[in-house]
Structure 1
Amino acid sequence: MVDLATQGDYRMQQICDGEGTMTNKDFEPRHLETLDRDLGRFSSLESATTYVGRPFVGSGIALVFIVMAGLVAMLFFGNSNNSMIVVIAAGLGAYMALNIGANDVANNMGPAVGANALTLGGAIAIAAIFESAGALLAGGDVVKTIAKGIIAPDSMQTSEVFIWAMMSALLSSALWVNLATWVGAPVSTTHSVVGGVMGAGIAAAGFGAVAWGTMGTIAASWVISPVLGGLVAAGFLWLIKSRIVYQDDKIEAARKWVPVLVGIMAGAFASYLALKGLKKIIKIDITMALTIGLAMGIAVWLVMIPIIRRQSQGLENRNKSLKVLFGIPLVVSAALLSFAHGANDVANAVGPLAAIVQASESGSFTQAISIPIWVMIIGAFGISFGLFLFGPKLIRMVGSQITKLNPMRAYCVALSAAITVIVASWLGLPVSSTHIAVGGVFGVGFFREWDAERRLRKARQSVPDRVQLTREERRRRKLVRRSHFMTIIAAWVITVPAAAGLSAVIFLTIQGFAG
Structure 2
Amino acid sequence: MAEHDLDADHLETLDRDLGRLSTLEQASVFVARPLVGPGIALIFMVFAGILAATVFGASSNSFIVIIAAVFGAYMALNIGANDVANNMGPAVGANALTMVGAIVIAAIFESAGALIAGGDVVSTIAKGIIAPSSMPTVSVFIWAMMAALLSAALWVNLATWIGAPVSTTHSVVGGVMGAGIAAAGFAAVNWATMSKIAASWVISPVLGGLIAALFLWFIKSRIIYQEDKITAAKRWVPVLVGIMSGAFASYLALKGLKKIIKIDLQTAILIGASIGVLFWLVMRPLVARQARGLENRNKSLKKLFNVPLIVSAALLSFAHGANDVANAVGPLAAIVQASQSGDYGTAISIPLWVMVIGAAGISFGLFLFGSKMIKVVGDQITKLNPMRAYCVALSAAITVIVASWLGLPVSSTHIAVGAVFGVGFFREWDTVRRMKKVKLTPDQQVEVSVEERSRRKLVRRSHFLSIIAAWVITVPAAAIISGLIFMVFSWVAI
Fold-level match, TM-score > 0.5?
yes
Residue 467 in structure 1 maps to residue 445 in structure 2: yes
User: Which region of structure 1 is more displaced relative to structure 2, 115-124 or 267-276?
Assistant: 267-276
* 1:321 equivalent in alignment to 2:300: yes
Q: 1:186 aligns with which of 145, 151, 165?
A: 165
Partner of 1:32: none
Distance 1:379 1:426, change over 3 A: farther
* Residue 376 (structure 1) aligned with residue 355 (structure 2): yes
CA gap of 1:261–1:200, structure 2 versus 1, over 3 A, is same
Q: Hey, what does 1:346 align to over in structure 2?
A: 325
Partner AA of 1:226 in structure 2: P
Contact 2:99 / 2:371 at 8 angstroms: preserved in 1? yes
Residues 1:203 and 2:215 aligned together = no
Write the distance in 1 (CA, Å) between the matches of 2:30 and 2:340: 42
Tell me if structure 1 keeps the 8 A contact 2:251–2:400. Answer: no
For residue 78 of structure 1, what is the aligned residue in structure 2? 57
* Matched AA of 2:346: Q
* Structure 2 counterpart of 1:385: 364
Give how far 1:281 is off.
4.3
Query: Match of 2:34, as an amino acid?
Result: P
Task: State the match for 2:40 in structure 1.
Answer: 61
Conserved? CA contact 1:255–1:309, under 8 Å: yes
Cα offset, 1:145, TM superposition: 6.8
2-structure distance, mates of 1:110, 1:67: 30
Identity %: 77
Mapping for residues 470-489 of structure 1, pairs under 5 Å: 470=449, 473-474=452-453, 476=455, 478-489=457-468
Query: In the alignment, is the contact (CA less than 8 A) between 1:99 and 1:177 conserved in 2?
Result: yes
Q: 1:57 to 1:295 in 2, by over 3 A?
A: same
- Structure 1 window deviating more from structure 2 (340-349 vs 410-419): it is 340-349
How far is the alpha carbon of 1:345 from its aligned partner?
Answer: 1.9
The structure 2 residue matched to 1:231, chosen from 199, 210, 217, is: 210
CA distance, structure 2, for counterparts of residue 484 and residue 278 of structure 1:
35
**Equivalent residue runs for 1:487-506 within 5 Å:** 487-506=466-485
2:222 maps to 1:243: yes
Q: Does the aligned pair in 2 maintain the 1:116–1:407 contact within 8 Å?
A: yes
> Quick one: structure 1 residues 285 and 439, their matched pair in 2 at CA, closer, same or farther if it must change by over 3 Å?
closer
> How much does 1:272 deviate?
2.8
| 1:141-200 superposed Cα distances (whole Å, 9 cap, x missing partner) | 784376242111111001111111110011111112112222322233223221111111
| Structure 1 residues 36-435: aligned runs within 5 Å | 54-140=33-119, 143-144=122-123, 147-421=126-400, 431-435=410-414
Q: Deviations over 1:210-234 (max 9, x none)?
A: 1111111111112100111111110
1:428 positional shift:
9.8
Distance (whole Å) between structure 2 residues aligned to residue 289 and residue 348 of structure 1: 22
TM-score w.r.t. structure 2 length?
A: 0.89
Structure 1: tracts of 5 or more residues without a match: 1-46
Q: Look up the SS of the partner of 1:164 in the other structure.
A: helix
Change (3 A) 1:285 1:393: closer
Structure 1 residue 381: Cα displacement: 1.5
Note if contact 1:92-1:171 (Cα within 8 Å) is conserved in structure 2.
Answer: yes
Q: Check conservation: 2:92, 2:98, Cα contact below 8 A.
A: yes
**Do the aligned residues in 1 keep the contact of 2:242 with 2:279 (CA within 8 Å)?**
yes
For 1:380 and 1:290, the matched residues in 2 are separated by: 28
Distance 1:493 1:404, change over 3 A: same
Are the aligned partners of 2:87 and 2:393 in contact in 1 as well (CA < 8 Å)?
Answer: yes
| AA matched with 1:254 | A
- Cα offset for 1:52? 13
Cα distance, 1:279 vs. partner? 4.8
Structure 1 match to 2:18: none
> Number of residues paired by the alignment?
466
Residue 368 of structure 1: how far off its partner (Å): 1.4
CA contact 1:94–1:349 (8 Å) conserved in 2: no
Given residue 346 of structure 1, which amino acid in structure 2 is its aligned partner? V
Pair 1:172–1:477, CA change in 2 (3 A): closer
Residue 37 (structure 1) aligns with: none
Partner Cα separation in structure 2 for residue 380 and residue 464 of structure 1:
61
Q: Distance in 2 between matches of 1:423 and 1:145?
A: 26
Larger Rg: 2
Structure 2: how far apart are the matches of 1:364 and 1:145? 11
Distance 1:256 1:146 in 2: 50
Question: 1:103 Cα shift?
Answer: 0.9
Distance 1:103-1:142 versus aligned 2 partners, 3 A rule: farther
CA distances 1:103-131 after superposition (whole Å, capped 9, x unpaired): 11112111111110000010001101111
Q: How far does residue 55 in structure 1 lie from its aligned partner after superposition? A: 2.3
Contact 1:402 1:442 in 2 (8 A): yes
Q: Match for residue 39 of structure 1?
A: none
Gaps spanning 5+ residues in structure 2: where? 1-25
Residue 240 of structure 1: CA displacement? 0.5
Distance 2:79 2:262 in 1: 31
SS in 1 for 2:349: coil
- In the superposition, relative to structure 1, how do residues 171 and 398 fare at CA in structure 2: closer, same or farther (>3 Å)? same
- Partners of 1:147 and 1:354 within 8 A in 2: no
Q: 1:90 Cα shift? A: 1.0
Q: Secondary structure at the match of 2:38?
A: helix
Q: Once the 2 structures are TM-superposed, how far is the Cα of residue 273 of structure 1 from its aligned partner?
A: 2.8
- C-alpha displacement at 1:422, in angstroms? 5.8
Offset, 1:410? 0.8
CA contact (8 A) 1:341 1:421 kept: no
Question: 2 CA distance for matches of 1:111 and 1:53?
Answer: 31
